[in-house]
Amino acid sequence: MSVVVVGYENRLGSHVLQDTGVGGRSARATLAPMDVPTFETVVSFLRVRDLAATHDFYGRDLGLRLEREEPTCLVFAVGGGYLGFVPDEPHDADGRVPDTTASSRDDVMATLVTQFVDDWYARVRRLGIETEGAPRYDPGLAAYGFVARDPDGYRIDFRRFDAPLR
């Protein structure tokens, strides 16, 4: 009885051992990744109806730093990542825009992690921005926060976690 082990590197840089096993059957085991490429940051893009209103909300009202402004794109810095915005675009021959009603926007939420939830709540209320209620503690998330709505109806979650995310 002989066992043959063949090693190769997969596209993620992990070494994979393939054991031809007994009777020609194959078994695989993956070792730790080697030289896996890393990411520098993340940009989450959302489609919006009005880039100017989005610019005012995130830049003026929330005070986020605008990193990039193009005719069809805005990118704001948020902590170690970015929020990007592009206009809704027609998707069919009749020029109809995809469904971006409040119900479809409910499926998307951006969480802005901050130690100053109450200060943000006071600012958002003072600016007349719609919220889903006052800040509250959620024991299931071990976090305190509230949710506001941006001009396109996206849910913006202002949240303080009991334990750091890192």
Instruction: Determine which of 12-26, 67-81, 98-112 has the lowest per-residue pLDDT on average.
Output: 12-26
73 has pLDDT over 50? yes
Q: What is the DSSP string of 61-117?
A: IS-PEEEEEETTEEEEEETTEEEEEEE----STT-PPP---HHHHTT-EEEEE-S-H
- Smallest CA-to-CA distance from 144 within 153, 134, 156, 132 is with 134
Does residue 59 or residue 19 have the better pLDDT? 59
Q: What is the DSSP string of 117-136?
A: HHHHHHHHHHTT--BSSS-E
Contact present, 51 and 57 (Cβ < 8 Å): no
72 has pLDDT over 90? no
pLDDT for res 42: 75
Tokens 């009749």, residue located: 94
What are the two backbone dihedrals, phi and then psi, of residue 136, each rounded to the nearest 5 degrees? Answer: -150, 160
Contact present, 105 and 155 (Cβ < 8 Å): yes
CA 79-162-149 angle, 5° bins = 55
Domain parsing of the chain, residue ranges = 1-36, 43-161
pLDDT for res 87: 87
77-90: per-residue pLDDT in tens? 998 899 999 888 65
Average pLDDT, the chain: 77
1-16: per-residue pLDDT in tens? 333 334 444 444 444 4
- Name the CATH architecture for the domain at 43-161: Roll (3.10)
pLDDT (average), residues 152-156: 90
Cα–Cα distance, 66 to 85 (Å, whole number):
11
Helix (H) or strand (E) holding 73: strand 73-78
26-50: per-residue pLDDT in tens? 555 555 555 666 666 778 888 898 9
